[in-house]
Amino acid sequence: MTEEDAESSGALVVDEDQDEILEEMSLDERKERLKKARWNVFLYLGIAVILFGFALFPMPFSADYEPFSSSAEKDVGYVWGLPLDGPDLFDVPMRLTVTADDPPAVPGLGISVFVIQEPDCTDVQTMSEKVEQAKGGDAHDHQHAVSDADVQDGGEYEFEFNIDPGQYCVVVEYVKNGTKISDPDADLSVEGKLYPNQLIGGVLGFVCLGLSTFAFIGAQRHGQALRTILESDGETTETKVLSAASAARIAAGPAGGPPQGGPSGPPSNADGDSTADRPAGPPQDQSADAPEAAPVAAPSEGDQAVFEPAENGYFFRKMPDGTYDQTVYVQDAEGTFVPYQA
């Protein structure tokens, strides 16, 4: 089966790229594939049932007793099938049911059935020759069978034959010790069934059954993948990777890591004197391209400490006396400054 055939039947082709294809499919695409695969399962199963029924449905025929010939004869017509000579698996089954009505009152009476491959059932000479050949039992195209038990009035007798394709004639008569018994008052009826569609219907039925099996496997895989997505709230592999990367970035904190520590006191001049108590000088010109961020006042509890921003989102706490707290702070989602924890 080719990849296109497997895809049309709803089955999934297993190859090295199949997992990537499944991962890239959206939720709606998976639902559509699952629906299609399930429909294909029922479709091929239905076709297989029809073909198996066609294979097992017989072609009936019947024959009546003719007092003039003291036998029941029937031109069955052409029986089609696989043209292989001799007994084999592809022979066409034939089932005959013979009902004895008013059989001759002869002890040890039997029923003889001939199945002769002959295109012209009215050719008396040819039919007589082939009947004699059938009595020998050596030819597959000229078959012969005799009932085992004594024939009883109203009794039904079953006969089974397996024949090659061809034109056939059926002859049924009363016999005793292999000799035909003629009785104008006797009667019998023949009901036959032929099964020439067994090979065609059976093979195609098994093909559809195999396609239905592949479609069922594909539906199971699509259903399992869909259940996995629904159980994970529709999260695909791509979103899982992005979520994991975001979680790792959040856990790592701001890039670059926290500063090693804040200054121990206010800045000093060149002579080493502190400038904390000196008034601030005139404002210096600052570049408009890189303005410095102003210290952010923190909601204090009784003190006037401010938080000065550092690099990478960290803050230092400046005490009212001008000294710096050595703890590094970060700002949470509510805007509150909390100590940084690695």
142 and 191 together in one domain? yes
Asked whether residue 144 is domain-assigned, the answer is yes
Residue 122 · residue 181 · CB < 8 Å? no
Asked whether residue 274 is domain-assigned, the answer is no
173 and 235 together in one domain? no
Asked whether residue 277 is domain-assigned, the answer is no
140 and 229 together in one domain? no
Q: Kindly state the helix (H) or strand (E) to which residue 71 belongs, with its residue range.
A: strand 71-79
191 and 77 together in one domain? yes
Asked whether residue 173 is domain-assigned, the answer is yes
Asked whether residue 44 is domain-assigned, the answer is yes
Share of the chain above pLDDT 70, in %: 70
71 and 138 together in one domain? yes
92 and 38 together in one domain? no
Query: Tell me: the pLDDT tens digits for 204-242?
Result: 888 988 888 888 888 888 777 777 777 765 555 556 666
11-20, 64-73, 91-100, 133-142: range with lowest mean pLDDT = 11-20
User: Which amino acid is residue 67, in one-letter code?
Assistant: P
166 and 180 together in one domain? yes
Angle (deg, nearest 10), helices 198-231 and 27-56 = 160
End residue of a domain, out of 195, 212, 227: 195
137 and 226 together in one domain? no
Tell me, what CATH number does 143's domain have?
2.60.120
What's the CA gap between 154 and 148, in Å, rounded?
16
Band the pLDDT of 173: cuts 50, 70, 90.
Answer: very high
Asked whether residue 285 is domain-assigned, the answer is no
- pTM strictly above 0.75: no
Structural domain boundaries, residue 103: 59-195
What's the CA gap between 66 and 49, in Å, rounded?
41
65 and 190 together in one domain? yes
Contacts of 20 (CB under 8 A, 6+ apart): none
CA distance readout (Å), 241 to 18, 31, 238, 274, 294: 20, 23, 5, 54, 39
Among the listed residues 181, 158, 191, 177, the one whose alpha carbon sits nearest the alpha carbon of residue 102: 181
pLDDT, averaged across the chain: 75
Residue 82 · residue 199 · CB < 8 Å? yes
What's the CA gap between 195 and 119, in Å, rounded?
20
Asked whether residue 286 is domain-assigned, the answer is no
> Total structural domains in the chain?
3
158 and 207 together in one domain? no
Asked whether residue 148 is domain-assigned, the answer is yes
Query: What are 172's two structure tokens?
Result: 């049924």
Rounded mean pLDDT, 114-123:
90
Going 327 to 330 to 331 to 332, the CA torsion angle's sign is: negative
66 and 181 together in one domain? yes
Number of helical H runs and strand E runs in the chain: 6, 14
Rounded mean pLDDT, 259-282:
47
